[in-house]
Amino acid sequence: MRDMVFAAAVMLFCAGCLLPSERPGYDVEVVSDYIEGVTPEQPQEEPVAQEPVEEEGPAATEQEPALTEEEKALTEQVEKLREGAREKYRRNRDAQGAIKDLAEALSLEPRGELEAQVRKELSTLYTLHALKLSRQKKFEQAMGLFGKALETDPTNAFVHMEYGATLYKTGKGDEAVVAYDRAIECKPDYHQALNARGLVRLSQEKYEEALKDFEKAIEMRPDFFWAVINKGLVLEKTGKTEAAIKLYDRAIELAPETGLAYNNRGWAYYKLKKYGQAIRDLTRALELSPGLDLAYLNRASAYAEEGFMHKAIKDYEAFLDRFPRHPRAPMVKKWLEKNKKRFEKKPPEHEKEE
C-alpha cells in the first residue's frame, strides 16, 4: 500500500481551496475599488512638516493658475469617459468597452494627476481582460494585453503582480519572479506579491528565499492566511514538521471553515506516523472542502497505514468519481485493479488481522 502514498498539496496560485476574499496573485483591493468607481491610488506618503516661511509679498500667497475654459472642457470630457468606462465594467463586466472609453480619454492628452489616474485605470482594465483570456488558456492574447498594460502604466503594481502569475502558469518561473520583484518595487507593502514570489521560489526548491518572503508577508500582515500556511509548507519541506503543524494550527484559527489547512496538518501528522490524528484532520478537510482532491488520497494513505483497507478503497473510488481526469487518476485506477479484489474477500472488521 505504501506505493500509493501521496504528498500533500503544494498550494501554488489557484491550487487548493481559496478563501472568498483573497487568492494568491490577486489584488482584490485594486479591482474592487475600480468596480465601485473609485480610482485606485498608491499609498500616500506622510506629509513632511515644513519650517514656517516668512511672507514676501504677493509671491508668498501665489496660487495655482485657474483652468482655462478649454482645459475645463477637456477635463469634463475625460471624466465623462472615465465614468462611462466604470459603468460598463461594473454593470456588464464589459472590459473591452471600458478599455475603448479610457483609451479615448487618454488620447485627449490629459495632464498631471488626471493623466496618471486614466493610465492606472486603463492598465488595470487591460489586466482584468488579460486575466479572463488567461482563464480561457488564451495565453498569447493575454500576454499581448499585459504588454499594453505595462506600457500604459509601468508603475501599476497590480499589473506586474498578475503578469507574474500568468508567467508562472505558462512555466516561466524565473520571469515570474522578476515580475513580482517589480510589483514589490512599485508597492513595497504588497504582501500578496511577497507571498506569490515565495510560492514560485518554493516550487523551485529555493526554501530559504521562499521562507524570507513568507515571513516578510506575515510581518506586514499577521492574519494573512496564505503566507501562514505557505510558511508551514516550507518548514515541512525542510524537515521541520512539528513547527509546520504550529503554523497550520494558526492557519486554522484564521480560516476555520477552510479545508486546506486541515489537509496540510493531516498530512504532517501522517509524516509523524500519527495516523489517527491525520484521519481526523483529513476527514474535517473533506467536510469543509469536498473538492479538495488530494485530501482523498492523503486520507486513503492514512487509512491504509491503520489497516482500514476497505475505507482506503472507498476514498480512492471517491477520488476517481470526482476527479476522473486528474493526473494521478491512472495511478489510482491501476492500484485498484490490482488490489481491490484481494481486499474485498475479507469483511471490513477483519482488515487489521491481515
Report the 3 state secondary structure along 283-304: HHHHHHCCCCHHHHHHHHHHHH
Q: What is the pLDDT of residues 108-157, one digit of tens each?
A: 999 999 999 999 999 999 999 999 999 999 999 999 999 999 999 999 99
Pull the grid cell for residue 285. Answer: 478537510
Would you say 132 and 39 are in contact if contact means Cβ atoms under 8 Å apart? Answer: no
**What CA–CA distance (Å, rounded) separates 61 from 64?**
10
pLDDT in tens, 258-283: 999 999 999 999 999 999 999 999 99
Question: From CA 252, how far away is CA 246, in angstroms rounded?
Answer: 10
> Residue 236's pLDDT is what?
96
Grid cell 485605470 — which residue?
121
Half-sphere exposure of 123 (CA within 13 A, CB side): 25
Which grid coordinates are listed for 250?
Answer: 494558526
pLDDT tens digits along 163-217: 999 999 999 999 999 999 999 999 999 999 999 999 999 999 999 999 999 999 9
Beta-carbon contacts of 334 under 8 Å, excluding residues fewer than 6 positions away, are: none
Q: Is the pLDDT of residue 239 over 50?
A: yes
Q: Residue 256 pLDDT > 70, yes or no?
A: yes
Q: How many CA atoms lie within 13 A of 166 on its CB side?
A: 27
DSSP 164-200: HHHHHHTT-HHHHHHHHHHHHHH-TT-HHHHHHHHHH
In this predicted structure, what is the pLDDT of residue 69?
A: 85
**Cα–Cα distance between 259 and 9 in angstroms, integer?**
12
* 301, 312 Cβ separation under 8 angstroms: yes
| Grid cell for residue 154 | 509601468
Going by pLDDT thresholds of 50, 70 and 90, the confidence category of residue 349 is: low
Q: Is the whole-model pTM more than 0.85?
A: no
pLDDT tens sequence across 79-115: 999 999 999 999 988 999 999 999 999 999 999 999 9
Assign 340 a pLDDT band (cuts: 50, 70, 90).
confident
Q: To the nearest 10°, the Cα dihedral for 69, 75, 80, 85? A: 160
What pLDDT score was predicted for residue 348?
60
Cα(62)–Cα(56) distance, integer angstroms? 11
pLDDT band at 56 (very low <50, low <70, confident <90, very high): very low
Percent of the chain at pLDDT above 90? 73
Q: Using 50, 70 and 90 to split pLDDT, how confident is the model at 338? A: confident
